[in-house]
Amino acid sequence: MNNERRPDCDWCKRMLIDYVSGNLDEENSKLVQKHLLVCMDCQSMFEQYENEAFLKGNDPKFSFNKLRTKFIGKVILICTVSIIVFSLLIGIFLPVLFNLVFGHRNQIAERVFADYIMFTIPSGQIESFSSGQGIMSLKLNCKYSQNPFSASNEIGLIIPTLLLKTHMTHVMNSRGIGFNEDKLGDANENNLEWDKLAKISQFTNCQAVIRFSNTISTAELETFLAEINANNKYAWAVIDTGNIDITPTKHIFNNSWGFPQRLQKVNGAGSSVTESSIEGAAQEFRSEMRFLENEAEYLGNNNLLQEIKEINRYIDNNGIKIIGVLVVVNSNDLLKHRDNKIISSIDIVKAELAY
Protein backbone atom coordinates (compact mmCIF):
# COMPACT_ATOMS: atom_id res chain seq x y z
CA MET A 1 0.00 0.00 0.00
CA ASN A 2 1.31 3.46 -0.86
CA ASN A 3 2.40 5.26 2.31
CA GLU A 4 1.86 8.72 0.74
CA ARG A 5 -0.55 10.66 2.92
CA ARG A 6 -1.08 13.61 0.60
CA PRO A 7 -4.35 13.04 -1.30
CA ASP A 8 -3.12 14.13 -4.75
CA CYS A 9 -4.91 13.06 -7.94
CA ASP A 10 -2.58 10.22 -8.98
CA TRP A 11 -2.68 8.66 -5.56
CA CYS A 12 -6.45 9.12 -5.27
CA LYS A 13 -7.15 7.51 -8.66
CA ARG A 14 -5.11 4.44 -7.64
CA MET A 15 -7.17 4.16 -4.46
CA LEU A 16 -10.59 4.58 -6.05
CA ILE A 17 -11.24 0.92 -7.02
CA ASP A 18 -10.51 -0.29 -3.49
CA TYR A 19 -12.46 2.67 -2.09
CA VAL A 20 -15.57 1.91 -4.20
CA SER A 21 -15.43 -1.77 -3.36
CA GLY A 22 -15.07 -1.00 0.35
CA ASN A 23 -11.66 -2.66 0.66
CA LEU A 24 -9.70 0.48 1.53
CA ASP A 25 -8.61 0.98 5.13
CA GLU A 26 -10.24 3.75 7.21
CA GLU A 27 -7.28 6.14 7.22
CA ASN A 28 -6.85 6.14 3.45
CA SER A 29 -10.63 6.25 2.94
CA LYS A 30 -10.76 9.53 4.83
CA LEU A 31 -8.00 10.97 2.66
CA VAL A 32 -9.89 9.92 -0.48
CA GLN A 33 -13.09 11.52 0.85
CA LYS A 34 -11.31 14.84 1.50
CA HIS A 35 -9.81 14.84 -1.96
CA LEU A 36 -13.12 14.06 -3.68
CA LEU A 37 -14.66 17.15 -2.09
CA VAL A 38 -12.24 19.47 -3.89
CA CYS A 39 -11.29 17.66 -7.12
CA MET A 40 -13.78 17.51 -10.02
CA ASP A 41 -11.68 15.09 -12.14
CA CYS A 42 -11.48 12.54 -9.37
CA GLN A 43 -15.18 13.03 -8.61
CA SER A 44 -15.98 12.11 -12.24
CA MET A 45 -13.80 9.01 -12.10
CA PHE A 46 -15.30 8.05 -8.75
CA GLU A 47 -18.85 8.37 -10.11
CA GLN A 48 -17.83 6.25 -13.15
CA TYR A 49 -16.44 3.47 -10.92
CA GLU A 50 -19.50 3.76 -8.70
CA ASN A 51 -21.91 3.35 -11.64
CA GLU A 52 -19.93 0.34 -12.91
CA ALA A 53 -20.12 -1.22 -9.46
CA PHE A 54 -23.88 -0.61 -9.37
CA LEU A 55 -24.35 -2.23 -12.86
CA LYS A 56 -22.40 -5.25 -11.67
CA GLY A 57 -24.78 -5.59 -8.74
CA ASN A 58 -22.31 -4.47 -6.11
CA ASP A 59 -23.43 -2.07 -3.35
CA PRO A 60 -20.56 0.40 -2.95
CA LYS A 61 -19.84 1.19 0.63
CA PHE A 62 -19.40 4.90 -0.07
CA SER A 63 -21.22 7.29 -2.36
CA PHE A 64 -20.03 10.77 -3.29
CA ASN A 65 -23.62 12.03 -3.16
CA LYS A 66 -23.94 10.56 0.31
CA LEU A 67 -20.63 12.12 1.26
CA ARG A 68 -21.71 15.52 -0.03
CA THR A 69 -25.09 15.26 1.74
CA LYS A 70 -23.36 14.31 4.96
CA PHE A 71 -20.98 17.26 4.67
CA ILE A 72 -23.81 19.75 3.98
CA GLY A 73 -25.77 18.31 6.91
CA LYS A 74 -22.84 18.92 9.24
CA VAL A 75 -22.51 22.50 8.01
CA ILE A 76 -26.24 23.13 8.58
CA LEU A 77 -26.05 21.56 12.06
CA ILE A 78 -23.05 23.68 13.03
CA CYS A 79 -24.75 26.86 11.77
CA THR A 80 -27.99 26.03 13.60
CA VAL A 81 -26.22 25.32 16.88
CA SER A 82 -24.19 28.51 16.50
CA ILE A 83 -27.34 30.61 15.95
CA ILE A 84 -29.05 29.03 18.98
CA VAL A 85 -26.02 29.60 21.20
CA PHE A 86 -25.66 33.19 19.99
CA SER A 87 -29.37 33.87 20.60
CA LEU A 88 -29.15 32.47 24.12
CA LEU A 89 -26.05 34.54 24.76
CA ILE A 90 -27.72 37.74 23.54
CA GLY A 91 -31.18 37.12 25.00
CA ILE A 92 -30.40 35.53 28.36
CA PHE A 93 -26.81 35.36 29.44
CA LEU A 94 -25.69 38.88 28.49
CA PRO A 95 -28.59 40.61 30.31
CA VAL A 96 -27.85 38.45 33.36
CA LEU A 97 -24.18 39.40 33.13
CA PHE A 98 -25.10 43.07 32.70
CA ASN A 99 -27.35 42.86 35.76
CA LEU A 100 -24.43 41.52 37.77
CA VAL A 101 -22.05 44.19 36.46
CA PHE A 102 -24.49 47.10 36.71
CA GLY A 103 -26.58 45.86 39.66
CA HIS A 104 -25.48 48.57 42.09
CA ARG A 105 -25.84 51.29 39.46
CA ASN A 106 -29.35 50.06 38.63
CA GLN A 107 -30.44 50.22 42.28
CA ILE A 108 -29.24 53.82 42.52
CA ALA A 109 -30.96 54.74 39.24
CA GLU A 110 -34.25 53.21 40.43
CA ARG A 111 -34.08 55.18 43.67
CA VAL A 112 -33.28 58.42 41.81
CA PHE A 113 -36.20 57.89 39.44
CA ALA A 114 -38.66 57.11 42.24
CA ASP A 115 -37.56 60.20 44.18
CA TYR A 116 -37.92 62.38 41.11
CA ILE A 117 -41.49 61.15 40.61
CA MET A 118 -42.47 61.67 44.26
CA PHE A 119 -40.92 65.14 44.58
CA THR A 120 -42.00 66.69 41.26
CA ILE A 121 -45.42 65.12 40.55
CA PRO A 122 -47.97 66.47 43.06
CA SER A 123 -49.61 63.61 44.96
CA GLY A 124 -47.89 61.16 42.62
CA GLN A 125 -48.66 57.72 44.04
CA ILE A 126 -46.50 54.93 42.55
CA GLU A 127 -48.77 52.02 41.60
CA SER A 128 -46.25 49.80 39.84
CA PHE A 129 -42.57 50.05 39.04
CA SER A 130 -40.55 47.90 36.66
CA SER A 131 -36.93 47.84 35.55
CA GLY A 132 -35.12 45.83 32.89
CA GLN A 133 -31.43 45.79 32.05
CA GLY A 134 -30.89 45.17 28.37
CA ILE A 135 -27.65 45.11 26.42
CA MET A 136 -27.92 48.74 25.29
CA SER A 137 -29.79 50.37 28.18
CA LEU A 138 -31.55 50.16 31.52
CA LYS A 139 -35.30 50.77 31.08
CA LEU A 140 -37.34 52.01 34.03
CA ASN A 141 -41.11 52.36 33.85
CA CYS A 142 -43.54 53.62 36.46
CA LYS A 143 -47.33 53.77 36.58
CA TYR A 144 -48.62 56.39 38.97
CA SER A 145 -51.88 58.08 39.91
CA GLN A 146 -52.47 61.52 41.37
CA ASN A 147 -55.85 60.83 42.92
CA PRO A 148 -58.13 57.87 43.57
CA PHE A 149 -60.64 58.99 40.93
CA SER A 150 -58.69 58.87 37.66
CA ALA A 151 -56.76 56.48 35.44
CA SER A 152 -53.03 55.96 35.93
CA ASN A 153 -50.39 57.89 34.03
CA GLU A 154 -47.02 56.49 32.98
CA ILE A 155 -43.51 57.83 33.04
CA GLY A 156 -40.43 56.04 31.73
CA LEU A 157 -36.68 56.57 31.87
CA ILE A 158 -34.09 54.99 29.56
CA ILE A 159 -30.48 55.10 30.84
CA PRO A 160 -27.97 54.01 28.17
CA THR A 161 -25.29 51.44 28.88
CA LEU A 162 -23.07 52.93 26.17
CA LEU A 163 -22.43 56.54 25.18
CA LEU A 164 -25.99 57.44 24.27
CA LYS A 165 -28.41 60.00 25.66
CA THR A 166 -30.71 59.50 28.64
CA HIS A 167 -34.33 59.70 27.50
CA MET A 168 -37.55 60.25 29.46
CA THR A 169 -41.12 59.65 28.29
CA HIS A 170 -44.40 60.70 29.85
CA VAL A 171 -47.81 59.30 28.89
CA MET A 172 -50.86 61.12 30.25
CA ASN A 173 -53.96 58.94 30.47
CA SER A 174 -55.75 61.39 32.77
CA ARG A 175 -55.50 65.10 33.47
CA GLY A 176 -52.39 65.97 35.44
CA ILE A 177 -52.60 67.96 38.67
CA GLY A 178 -50.16 70.83 39.05
CA PHE A 179 -49.39 73.41 41.69
CA ASN A 180 -48.76 76.90 40.36
CA GLU A 181 -47.01 78.98 43.00
CA ASP A 182 -47.99 82.22 41.26
CA LYS A 183 -51.71 81.44 41.09
CA LEU A 184 -52.99 82.92 44.32
CA GLY A 185 -56.31 83.92 42.75
CA ASP A 186 -58.43 86.96 43.48
CA ALA A 187 -61.26 87.04 46.01
CA ASN A 188 -63.99 86.38 43.43
CA GLU A 189 -62.21 83.32 42.04
CA ASN A 190 -61.63 81.97 45.50
CA ASN A 191 -65.28 82.47 46.49
CA LEU A 192 -66.37 80.64 43.36
CA GLU A 193 -64.28 77.63 44.36
CA TRP A 194 -65.73 77.65 47.89
CA ASP A 195 -69.25 77.99 46.46
CA LYS A 196 -68.56 75.06 44.14
CA LEU A 197 -67.42 73.03 47.14
CA ALA A 198 -70.55 73.96 49.09
CA LYS A 199 -72.78 72.69 46.27
CA ILE A 200 -71.08 69.28 46.14
CA SER A 201 -70.19 68.91 49.81
CA GLN A 202 -72.99 66.53 50.73
CA PHE A 203 -71.73 62.92 50.59
CA THR A 204 -68.60 63.68 48.50
CA ASN A 205 -64.87 63.43 48.78
CA CYS A 206 -62.75 65.87 46.83
CA GLN A 207 -59.18 66.51 45.86
CA ALA A 208 -58.15 70.10 46.44
CA VAL A 209 -55.10 72.30 45.90
CA ILE A 210 -54.75 74.53 48.95
CA ARG A 211 -52.46 77.57 49.05
CA PHE A 212 -51.53 79.15 52.37
CA SER A 213 -51.51 82.87 53.13
CA ASN A 214 -47.95 82.61 54.46
CA THR A 215 -45.38 79.86 54.69
CA ILE A 216 -46.02 77.46 57.55
CA SER A 217 -43.88 74.89 59.35
CA THR A 218 -44.22 71.13 59.01
CA ALA A 219 -45.70 71.01 62.50
CA GLU A 220 -48.37 73.54 61.52
CA LEU A 221 -49.14 71.54 58.37
CA GLU A 222 -49.49 68.39 60.46
CA THR A 223 -52.04 70.13 62.68
CA PHE A 224 -53.95 71.49 59.67
CA LEU A 225 -54.17 68.07 57.96
CA ALA A 226 -55.46 66.51 61.18
CA GLU A 227 -58.12 69.23 61.48
CA ILE A 228 -59.49 68.58 57.99
CA ASN A 229 -59.14 64.77 58.32
CA ALA A 230 -57.05 64.57 55.14
CA ASN A 231 -56.27 61.19 53.59
CA ASN A 232 -52.53 60.90 54.18
CA LYS A 233 -52.15 58.60 51.17
CA TYR A 234 -52.51 61.55 48.81
CA ALA A 235 -51.27 64.43 50.99
CA TRP A 236 -48.44 66.24 49.16
CA ALA A 237 -46.72 69.23 50.78
CA VAL A 238 -45.44 71.98 48.48
CA ILE A 239 -42.19 73.49 49.75
CA ASP A 240 -40.94 77.05 49.58
CA THR A 241 -37.93 77.29 47.23
CA GLY A 242 -37.37 81.03 47.59
CA ASN A 243 -36.76 82.94 44.41
CA ILE A 244 -35.27 80.01 42.51
CA ASP A 245 -36.43 79.98 38.92
CA ILE A 246 -37.97 76.52 38.50
CA THR A 247 -38.72 75.63 34.91
CA PRO A 248 -40.66 72.43 34.25
CA THR A 249 -38.92 69.91 32.01
CA LYS A 250 -40.68 69.04 28.77
CA HIS A 251 -41.86 65.81 30.40
CA ILE A 252 -43.17 67.08 33.75
CA PHE A 253 -45.84 69.76 33.83
CA ASN A 254 -45.36 70.93 37.43
CA ASN A 255 -43.14 73.83 38.45
CA SER A 256 -42.96 73.12 42.17
CA TRP A 257 -41.15 70.74 44.46
CA GLY A 258 -42.67 68.92 47.38
CA PHE A 259 -42.98 65.63 49.21
CA PRO A 260 -45.73 63.13 50.09
CA GLN A 261 -46.62 62.20 53.64
CA ARG A 262 -46.22 58.56 52.62
CA LEU A 263 -42.83 58.13 50.95
CA GLN A 264 -42.47 55.11 48.69
CA LYS A 265 -39.17 53.28 48.37
CA VAL A 266 -38.37 51.21 45.33
CA ASN A 267 -36.70 47.87 45.97
CA GLY A 268 -35.88 45.87 42.85
CA ALA A 269 -39.05 46.04 40.77
CA GLY A 270 -41.37 46.60 43.74
CA SER A 271 -42.03 49.38 46.21
CA SER A 272 -42.76 49.80 49.90
CA VAL A 273 -44.40 52.66 51.79
CA THR A 274 -42.92 54.56 54.71
CA GLU A 275 -45.72 55.56 57.07
CA SER A 276 -44.71 58.62 59.04
CA SER A 277 -45.74 62.04 60.27
CA ILE A 278 -45.28 65.14 58.11
CA GLU A 279 -42.19 65.96 60.16
CA GLY A 280 -40.79 62.48 59.56
CA ALA A 281 -41.58 62.70 55.84
CA ALA A 282 -39.86 66.11 55.70
CA GLN A 283 -36.68 64.63 57.16
CA GLU A 284 -36.82 61.75 54.67
CA PHE A 285 -37.31 64.30 51.89
CA ARG A 286 -34.29 66.27 53.09
CA SER A 287 -32.13 63.13 53.10
CA GLU A 288 -33.29 62.05 49.64
CA MET A 289 -32.68 65.53 48.20
CA ARG A 290 -29.03 65.28 49.30
CA PHE A 291 -28.89 61.87 47.67
CA LEU A 292 -30.41 63.33 44.46
CA GLU A 293 -27.80 66.06 44.39
CA ASN A 294 -25.09 63.39 44.22
CA GLU A 295 -26.85 61.06 41.79
CA ALA A 296 -29.09 63.25 39.59
CA GLU A 297 -26.83 62.56 36.59
CA TYR A 298 -28.95 59.46 36.00
CA LEU A 299 -31.81 61.77 34.99
CA GLY A 300 -29.65 63.15 32.17
CA ASN A 301 -30.54 66.81 32.83
CA ASN A 302 -27.85 69.26 33.93
CA ASN A 303 -30.39 72.03 34.53
CA LEU A 304 -32.27 69.76 36.89
CA LEU A 305 -29.09 68.99 38.82
CA GLN A 306 -28.41 72.71 39.23
CA GLU A 307 -31.99 73.22 40.40
CA ILE A 308 -31.61 70.52 43.06
CA LYS A 309 -28.37 72.10 44.31
CA GLU A 310 -30.01 75.51 44.65
CA ILE A 311 -33.04 74.08 46.47
CA ASN A 312 -30.79 72.20 48.91
CA ARG A 313 -28.79 75.34 49.55
CA TYR A 314 -31.97 77.32 50.21
CA ILE A 315 -33.32 74.67 52.61
CA ASP A 316 -29.97 74.55 54.43
CA ASN A 317 -30.28 78.29 55.09
CA ASN A 318 -34.02 78.55 55.76
CA GLY A 319 -35.30 75.11 56.70
CA ILE A 320 -38.32 73.41 55.11
CA LYS A 321 -41.26 75.81 54.82
CA ILE A 322 -44.63 74.87 53.34
CA ILE A 323 -46.53 77.11 50.91
CA GLY A 324 -49.38 74.77 50.01
CA VAL A 325 -50.71 71.23 50.03
CA LEU A 326 -52.67 68.85 47.80
CA VAL A 327 -55.16 66.72 49.69
CA VAL A 328 -57.96 64.21 49.29
CA VAL A 329 -60.54 65.07 51.93
CA ASN A 330 -64.22 64.89 52.75
CA SER A 331 -65.80 67.98 51.17
CA ASN A 332 -67.75 68.89 54.29
CA ASP A 333 -64.61 68.71 56.47
CA LEU A 334 -62.82 71.11 54.13
CA LEU A 335 -65.80 73.44 53.84
CA LYS A 336 -65.69 74.01 57.60
CA HIS A 337 -62.42 75.87 57.07
CA ARG A 338 -63.74 78.39 54.59
CA ASP A 339 -62.95 81.26 56.97
CA ASN A 340 -59.63 79.84 58.15
CA LYS A 341 -57.10 82.66 57.76
CA ILE A 342 -54.29 80.20 57.10
CA ILE A 343 -55.84 79.44 53.70
CA SER A 344 -55.23 81.89 50.86
CA SER A 345 -57.08 80.02 48.10
CA ILE A 346 -58.28 76.61 47.00
CA ASP A 347 -58.82 74.81 43.69
CA ILE A 348 -61.20 71.85 43.57
CA VAL A 349 -59.57 69.30 41.26
CA LYS A 350 -62.18 66.56 41.34
CA ALA A 351 -64.98 65.25 43.51
CA GLU A 352 -66.64 61.86 43.82
CA LEU A 353 -69.43 60.39 45.92
CA ALA A 354 -68.21 59.16 49.29
CA TYR A 355 -69.36 55.59 49.85
Q: What is the pLDDT of residue 40?
A: 87
**Do 337 and 228 touch, CB atoms closer than 8 A?**
yes
Pairing state between β 343-353 and 204-216 = antiparallel
Q: Across-strand partners of 327?
A: 208
Band of the pLDDT at 328, cuts 50, 70, 90? Answer: very high
pTM for this structure?
Answer: 0.69
Specify the higher pLDDT residue, 69 or 79: 79
Nearest to 236 by CA among 140, 319, 124: 124
Residue 225 has pLDDT above 90, yes or no: yes
The whole-angstrom separation of Cα 68 and Cα 36 is 9
**Do 314 and 307 touch, CB atoms closer than 8 A?**
no
DSSP string, 30-91: HHHHHHHHH-HHHHHHHHHHHHHHHHTT---S--HHHHHHHHHHHHHHHHHHHHHHHHHIII
The whole-angstrom separation of Cα 254 and Cα 248 is 6
Mean pLDDT of 313-341: 93
CA 173-177-178 angle, to 5 degrees, is: 135
Whole-number Cα distances in Å, 293 to 49, 68, 108, 181, 206: 84, 68, 12, 23, 35
Residue 290 has pLDDT above 90, yes or no: yes
229-256 confidence digits (pLDDT tens): 998 888 999 999 987 766 655 445 567 8
Helices (H), 185-330: 187-200, 218-227, 278-295, 302-318
Residue 84 has pLDDT above 50, yes or no: yes
**Do 135 and 94 touch, CB atoms closer than 8 A?**
yes
Q: Across-strand partners of 130?
A: 141
**What is residue 296's DSSP assignment?**
G
Band of the pLDDT at 91, cuts 50, 70, 90? Answer: low
Q: What is the pLDDT of residue 4?
A: 47
Specify the higher pLDDT residue, 31 or 221: 221
Mean pLDDT of 328-332: 92
